[in-house]
Structure 1
């Protein structure tokens, strides 16, 4: 695919542009998997460079906004999402990120709950993709997604951000599904359940999940914070 580019002298004369991009992760069901998997929404580019390629939601940083406010606005404008967890990920400023002008992107990553993800607006130019089935993205966005996934997998081991993927009440099996989707491996159900029940920030409710064939599982509530801390696998 031909990529639109400016010549070297033109690029040197232009000041770097500061932009905001966001990686948004959610657990969604998948027809090819019996369990939920990690998905993220992407936006199709409608202009050069990289026209028609998919990219992370984002845009230029305005003079009137904080970085976090700009990230939230971009999410709202492109996907209508309001994440429960939003954190600055990293700054990407390689010289060759854009063939037109040097762009420095402040990247945020967000986690959204299932009910919020289900409300995300999808159009011809906004679509959800499995995080492990992306194909070629615009700019260096494949590298950014890979870094965000690496960060998520590491952080889920020592913090409680897994609960940012869940609703207010959940079963222990649903918590395990989050960890399995993030870590990409199956966990021993009995051992995982034992660790969760020993955690001080998990509280059993008097409610049960209805609708299944078997004995309905008990619903639990998370009482801690999704900020970094000791998670149930730490």
Structure 2
């Protein structure tokens, strides 16, 4: 039995995959492998199969195209303009993924010519993927002001200056060093390591690592790392 007088609509998932290389934010793109727009730059995406949920499809496609699994992946928004795909009526469910670039490069799947692009220097994307990126960036900026999701972008060990640079880069703003350090250390999210990063100075900066258990238990805690005026601008 089928619903009568109804047209077929395909459901796709597309993932906006963010990475941070220590100084700049990047997005992972692939060259589309089939028409239309074959070999044009695209977000990671594919169609939902008949026997899987939308979330399961997002996990499957991410693993297929990048080799990664168990990464931060959150449903973002539904994009459903009737003419968004020139071939068929396709509704796309967009996801945001946050990936440690160093970890990704060790598992890269070369079959789809995946490449990291600076957010400020993206090539022209297919369909409405540029709108997806814009929406994802707005969501990431808003959510990162209140929840520690940006830690998903960091390697196992990092310094406070690296962490601060990550927040400053996302909001394109300068944050007071002392206030930032005080706030982040007061959360108890970090564990101080014994070794230092001396790549930028003789004195060096201590490495820190994330307390994974505390992080999972307190993921929804409000952090307010970002100056209030920045948060106000994001909520307007």
Coarse TM-score class (shorter-chain normalised): 0.7 to 0.9
2-side partners of 1:115 and 1:50: how far apart?
A: 30
Q: Taking structure 1 as the reference length, what is the TM-score of the superposition? A: 0.83
Aligned pair in 2 of structure 1 residues 21, 124: CA closer, same or farther (>3 Å)?
Answer: closer
Q: CA deviation at 1:232?
A: 5.1
Aligned pair in 2 of structure 1 residues 135, 115: CA closer, same or farther (>3 Å)?
Answer: closer
Which runs of at least 4 in structure 1 moved beyond 3 Å after TM superposition?
Answer: 121-125, 210-213
Question: Which residues in structure 2 correspond to 1:73-88 (within 5 Å)?
Answer: 73-82=60-69, 84-88=71-75
Residue in 1 that maps onto 2:9: 16
Aligned pair in 2 of structure 1 residues 206, 127: CA closer, same or farther (>3 Å)?
Answer: closer
Aligned pair in 2 of structure 1 residues 233, 211: CA closer, same or farther (>3 Å)?
Answer: closer
- Unaligned regions of 5+ residues in structure 1, if any? 1-11, 29-34
- Mapped pair 1:50 → 2:37: yes
Provide the alpha-carbon RMSD of the alignment: 2.3
Residue in 2 that maps onto 1:63: 50
1:24-45 per-position Cα deviation (integer Å, ceiling 9, x unaligned): 10012xxxxxx62111111212
- Unaligned regions of 5+ residues in structure 2, if any? 227-236
Q: Taking structure 2 as the reference length, what is the TM-score of the superposition? A: 0.82
Residue in 1 that maps onto 2:167: 179
Secondary structure at 1:71's aligned position in 2?
A: helix
Equivalent residue pairs, number: 217
1:11-57 per-position Cα deviation (integer Å, ceiling 9, x unaligned): x99511111111110012xxxxxx62111111212332223321111
- Mapped pair 1:225 → 2:215: yes
